[in-house]
Amino acid sequence: MNKRLLFCSLAASSTLLLSPVQATEFGIYGRAHLSLDHLDNGNESGLNIASNASRFGIRGSQQVQDNLTVLLQVESLIRLDEGSGDWASRNSFLGLQGDFGLVRVGFFDTPLKNVRSRTDLFGDQVGDARNIVRGGGVDLDRRFRNGLHYQTPAMQNITLDLHYTPNDRTGSTSDNKDDAISSSVTFENKELMLMLAYERRHRLEDSALSGMRAGASYRLNDQWRLTAFWQYSENFPGGDRSAYGAGLAYRMSEAFSLKAQLYQAASADTDDSAATMLSVGVDRHFGRQLTLYAAAAMTTNQRNASFNVSAGGGHGKSLTIEPGQDPLALSIGVVYNFSANFGS
């Protein structure tokens, strides 16, 4: 009888010790984003169907002990318009999270990139802010290869992020000449978000590429939201350049919202190389999962500028723009977000 009681006690104790390990969640998620676009580059025009940063991912988390959780995510780009894709080509990582903050290793957005994504009202659509802030040879919206990221716990609504890579290329390295660092400080409460970020690539070389960004998002109330963005880049092709923009979104009801944003890139080393982009749109919401939208955008280029209106990173189709031409895009699209979670 004593042996039986001892066995039951040990079994009960083991259950208690192992119970945090059983806090496991696993799921699939993704986004299907397709649009029908009329694209005009100033010389010719055409009708296109585009898959815009459509994605499929798997993610999991497991609490291995009190205040320590393991995170895993693998996210892939899928091109629904052309029937192809790239495995683990988007944010993919292994991480640990606890009272100390968050540590991740893998391939994912830098803190500097997040400034733009959190202030851009037309992300992955025509009129995406990246048409301006990534134009003119500037390439700051990146994911670091071989990245190591640390995020502090929130302290008085302030979070610090530090993202480093010893080699922002494929393969191994013996000299770390292609290392890079990205960092940010974020203040966020229910109404206001403020971000300041700095990034420097190939920092052991004299001609390191660098950029600084500041972003803000402010909710006046349940209907109105204001956004602002500023960027300065150095040593990219074309020379040092600044860019800035502002946006306004208005939620008419649970079903409809209106939005507009204006972005401008200043001239760099070449005179008359500035550009301005105006984007306007309307969204029809069906809960959080489904959105139908219509958007229009136009970029005005000075005679030595060739900024686009539909090549902004996440948008799937674009036309080549010649210097001095003013591209125009009209788009109707659908965005479907899906997920399924399993736990134990």
SS (H, E, C) the chain: CHHHHHHHHHHHHHHHHHHHHHCEEEEEEEEEEEEEEEEECCCCEEEEEEECCCEEEEEEEEEEECCEEEEEEEEEEEECCCCEEECCCCCEEEEEEECCEEEEEEEEECHHHHHHHCCCCCCCCCCCCHHHHCCCCCCCCCEEEEEEEEECCCECCEEEEEEEECCCCCCCCCCCCCCEEEEEEEEECCCEEEEEEEEEECCCCCCCEEEEEEEEEEECCCCEEEEEEEEEEECCCCCCEEEEEEEEEEECCCCEEEEEEEEEECCCCCCCCCEEEEEEEEEEEECCCEEEEEEEEEEEECCCCCCCCCCCCCCCCCCCCCCCCCCEEEEEEEEEEEEEEEEC
Q: Do 271 and 304 contact (CB within 8 A), yes or no?
A: yes
> With b meaning 16 or more CB within 10 Å and e meaning fewer, what string describes 159-179?
bbbebbbebbeeeeeeeeebb
Tell me if the pTM is above 0.75: yes
Instruction: Tell the burial category of 136 from Cβ atoms under 10 Å away from its Cβ (0-12, 13-18, 19+).
Output: buried
What span, in angstroms and rounded, lies between the C-alpha atoms of 311 and 273?
18
Q: Which band of pLDDT confidence, cut at 50, 70 and 90, is reported for residue 2?
A: very low
Number of residues that this document lists for the chain? 344
Residue 309 predicted with pLDDT over 80: yes
Tens of pLDDT, residue by residue over 247-277, are 999 999 999 999 999 999 999 988 999 999 9
Give, rounded to a whole angstrom, the gap between the first and last alpha carbons of the chain: 34
Q: What digits encode the pLDDT tens for the residues 66-119?
A: 999 999 999 999 999 999 999 999 999 999 999 999 999 999 999 999 999 999
Does residue 6 carry a pLDDT above 60? no
Domains of the chain with bracketed CATH: 98-343 (2.40.160.10)
The pLDDT of residue 224 is above 90? yes
pLDDT tens digit sequence for 332-343: 999 999 999 987
The residues, ordered by sequence, that sit 6+ positions from 204 with a Cβ below 8 Å of its Cβ are 175, 176, 177, 179
Mean pLDDT across the chain = 91
User: How confident is the model over 125-146, as pLDDT tens digits?
Assistant: 999 999 999 998 898 999 999 9
Quickly tell me which residue has 């039986």 as its tokens.
Answer: 4
Look at residue 13 and tell me whether its pLDDT is greater than 60.
no
CA separation for the pair 30, 39 (Å, rounded): 27
Contact 281, 127 (CB under 8 A): yes
Burial of 314 (0-12, 13-18, 19+ CB in 10 A): buried
What pLDDT sits at residue 18? 43
Q: Cβ of 42: how many Cβ atoms within 10 Å?
A: 16
> What is the band of 205 on the pLDDT scale with cuts at 50, 70, 90?
low
- For residues 311 and 309, what is the distance between their CA atoms, to the nearest angstrom? 6
